[in-house]
């Protein structure tokens, strides 16, 4: 094995001038995306016998309209349309292995089970964001121009496309920070500031996730660095997603030893020991999957990575 956390690998955080217990985290994407109608939860695969969950779509409630008939003309039958989407749950994982010597000389109090549990929770939340961003890049519908900024016209066109498709319910925009900057800049400068978004309150951030920025033209805005790059990494593929546009499922394995394992969202965290090597192993296993629900319920928002 490799990449164990050893004293020899922690030279920067063990320098003599380091203040005990004081540190800053590396820069990383840490946004979370809790429940939103655009992300339809299909359930857990626990006890299902297979690693897939299927969500049906039924053409009911005015999907079909009436036909014109004469006074005594016999009407035909209407076929009730249906469709389905299948989500496959896959395993994801990571593990840390600090040595006993690294842990007993830990001057920052980070090589502890408690901190690794916190890391596991944060990672589980981030994996859902990562899946949503990568899956949304697969929508067929697309607005925006390669190499150009994302403007209000493209955003409104995406909303129009969802309206035309009868994709009702709340909508969620998944944007890269650069896309959100370009959109705000246009609204603030070109419109003289007359068009404003509804900023997120602390309560809404707690409910909708740390990347939630508020509403723009009625759509929830979520900003993340996980937005997929396309066209040889020249463009961002953000997305505007209506309710049910993305469908996800998960699984949580049973606990065998409660003294060493704990269930967390979408998986488990556990402690193991390699006594002969004097290593403590902190192991995270996640079981998640996501698919496009109905293609017409989402639109890609394409803009240049370097556009400003």
CATH code for the domain in which residue 203 is found:
3.90.1690
- Asked whether residue 73 is domain-assigned, the answer is no
Beta bridge partners of 5: 98
At residue 23, the pLDDT reads 44
At residue 17, the pLDDT reads 47
Handedness of CA 273, 278, 284, 285 (dihedral sign): negative
Q: How many domains does the chain have?
A: 1
- Asked whether residue 65 is domain-assigned, the answer is no
- Asked whether residue 19 is domain-assigned, the answer is no
Q: The tokens of 172 are what?
A: 């969620």
pTM of the full structure: 0.83
Kindly list the averaged pLDDT for each block of 10 residues, start to end, along the chain of length 308: 65 50 51 76 93 85 79 84 89 95 90 93 91 96 95 95 92 95 84 64 73 89 94 96 94 93 94 94 96 95 89
Q: For the chain, first and last CA: distance in Å?
A: 44
- Nearest-angstrom CA–CA distance, 90 and 33: 19
At residue 176, the pLDDT reads 96
At residue 14, the pLDDT reads 47
| Residue-range definition of the domain harbouring residue 110 | 39-55+85-304
- Asked whether residue 119 is domain-assigned, the answer is yes
Q: Are 173 and 301 in contact (CB under 8 A)?
A: yes
- Asked whether residue 11 is domain-assigned, the answer is no
Q: The tokens of 215 are what?
A: 């509403």
Strands 219-223 and 228-230 turn out to be: unpaired
- Asked whether residue 64 is domain-assigned, the answer is no
Match 């996640």 to its residue by tokens: 286
- Asked whether residue 8 is domain-assigned, the answer is no
- Asked whether residue 251 is domain-assigned, the answer is yes
């Amino acid at each position: 094995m490799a990449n164990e956390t050893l004293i020899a690998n922690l030279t920067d955080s063990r320098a003599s001038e380091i203040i005990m217990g004081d540190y800053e985290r590396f820069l990383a994407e840490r946004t979370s995306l809790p429940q939103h109608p655009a992300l339809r939860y299909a359930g857990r695969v626990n006890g299902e016998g297979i690693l897939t969950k299927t969500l049906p779509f039924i053409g009911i409630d005015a999907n079909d309209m009436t036909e014109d008939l004469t006074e005594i003309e016999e009407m035909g039958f209407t076929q009730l349309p249906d469709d389905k989407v299948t989500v496959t749950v896959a395993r994801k994982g990571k593990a840390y292995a600090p040595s006993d010597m690294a842990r007993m000389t830990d001057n920052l109090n980070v090589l502890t089970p408690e901190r690794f549990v916190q890391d596991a929770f944060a990672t589980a939340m981030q994996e859902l964001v990562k899946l949503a961003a990568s899956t949304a890049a697969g929508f067929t519908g697309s607005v925006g121009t390669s190499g150009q900024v994302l403007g209000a016209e493209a955003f409104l066109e995406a909303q129009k496309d969802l309206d035309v498709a009868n994709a009702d319910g709340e909508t969620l925009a998944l944007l890269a920070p650069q896309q959100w900057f370009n959109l705000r800049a246009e609204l603030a400068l070109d419109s003289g500031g007359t068009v404003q978004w509804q900023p997120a309150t602390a309560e809404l951030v707690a409910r909708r996730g740390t990347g939630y920025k508020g509403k723009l033209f009625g759509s929830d805005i979520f900003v993340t660095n996980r937005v997929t790059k396309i066209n040889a990494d020249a463009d961002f593929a953000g997305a505007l997603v209506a309710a049910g546009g993305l469908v996800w499922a998960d699984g949580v394995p049973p606990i065998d030893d409660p003294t060493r394992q704990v269930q967390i969202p979408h998986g488990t965290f556990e402690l193991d020991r390699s006594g002969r090597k004097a290593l403590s192993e902190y192991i995270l296993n996640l079981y998640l999957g996501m698919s496009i629900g109905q293609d017409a319920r989402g639109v890609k928002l394409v803009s240049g990575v370097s556009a400003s």
